[in-house]
Amino acid sequence: MIAVTAKSLFTPTERIESPLLLVEDGRVAEISSRASRSLPSAARQVDFGDAMLVPGFVDLHIHGGAGHDVMEADLGGLCEIERQLIAHGVTAYFPTTVTAPVNQTLSALDRLANAIEAAESGATGGSRRAVPIGIHLEGPFLSHARRGVHPPEHLLPPTPAMFERFWEASRGHIRVMTIAPELDGAEAVIKEAAKCGVCVSLGHSDADLAATRSGVNAGARHATHIFNAMRPLGHRDPGILGEVLTNPDVTADLIADGVHLNPTVVQLVLRAKGTENTVLITDATAATGMPDGRYRLGMQEVEVKEGRCTSDGRLAGSVLTMDCAVRNVMKFANLELQQAVRLATVNPTRVAGLSQRGTLQVGSRADFVVLSANGETRQTIIGGEGL
């Protein structure tokens, strides 16, 4: 048994001062305060001094990093992405597809399902890497008008039959799906996906208010990178943003890199949705952690220069890391560290329906991050490894 101590611990919904976190066989055995519990005599103590212990970060929307894309045929690239993720506090993630030819998407879904199942079975051994816990299907059911850099020739009208092909290829591991609710056939696909337990997320959409509400009524309950690749908010035509910002049953994620959203808009989203219904994502690409240059996003070539990732002048994902997103949202929206951590831990897992992750509680896997008071990652622990 290992006894972990530090200045504070965020579960993240509760804060414990002078915590005592007991880890045994890779899981949390006990959480208490040193004021009420003495160190077990047989335990080995690991003291992190003035640091904060928080659940491992979870990225709901990530395309790549370390020079690799999650849709690559070589799974070795996925391992490099996962090693980079733990350096920034991410212990679990949702590899996110980008619109491509159907056969390429089906093959990618199969490979990503293999990676998820290998992680679940422990076949990856004791490797200290972040683990994939679900797939985010972004495309091909997107609006041509708001497609961003998704290739238009591979966008498809949503049909239950096509969704079923994707679902079968993923072997049920699609946990999030982005769709434009105004497309013909979208309502039927939203209903089908929601029945399968998928978090249907509205995005890459030019929907008006009525079409958005139809999508929500069909079962959509989240919004992808709010404000980006969406019809702008109009005071007479509120559109998709009017519904997302005012409906308390719809959660939303945002990219807090200072590029995709002005800090004032980040404040607006947090005031409208609250810290309970907002999720931090990175939308990171293969260029993340790499020098300026040219990289791949699915089939697209993207260029990175001075922190901006673009393709033909359009924003094409980001080079954001999750620990930086946590620090940024603290600055942009004047949040406390505990509030910002919530946006990167329990909120994304709740959105995806995976409540066993994103929290520190007795019985949960001992995935946690050691942070400084300002949110700098000092160490990432995966399943107790690293202690």
Q: Say what the pLDDT of residue 126 is.
A: 57
Q: Which parts of the chain register pLDDT below 50?
A: none
Closest CA to 199 of 151, 247, 252, 158: 252
85 neighbors 130 (Cβ within 8 angstroms): yes
CB 45 within 8 A of CB 88: no
Look at residue 123 in the predicted model and tell me its pLDDT.
63
Options 253, 257, 283, 367, the catalytic residue: 283
Spatial CA neighbour of 300 closest among 316, 287, 284, 313: 316
**Pairwise CA distance, residues 158 & 179, whole Å:** 8
- Residue pair 308/281 in contact (Cβ under 8 Å)? The answer is no
Helical (H) or strand (E) element with 308:
strand 308-311
User: Does the 57-357 domain belong in CATH 3.20.20.140?
Assistant: yes
1-54+359-387 CATH fold: Urease, subunit C; domain 1 (2.30.40)
Active site residue 283: yes
Task: Give just the sign of the alpha carbon dihedral 143, 164, 219, 315.
Answer: negative
Measure the CA–CA gap between 263 and 280, rounded to whole angstroms.
Answer: 14
- Please count the residues of the chain: 387
Q: What SS3 class is residue 219? A: coil
Tokens of 283: 């939308």
Q: Return the percent helix, strand and coil in the chain, to nearest 5.
A: 30, 30, 45
Task: Give the neighbor-by-neighbor strand order of the sheet with 90-95.
Answer: 57-62, 90-95, 131-132
The answer to whether 70 and 79 have CB atoms below 8 angstroms apart is no
Q: How far apart are CA 387 and CA 379, in angstroms?
A: 9
Q: Where are the domains of the chain?
A: 1-54+359-387, 57-357
DSSP string, 331-355: HHHT--HHHHHHHTTHHHHHHTT-T
Q: At what angle do helices 263-273 and 322-333 cross, to 10 degrees?
A: 80
Give the model's pLDDT for residue 38.
87
pLDDT at 121: 85
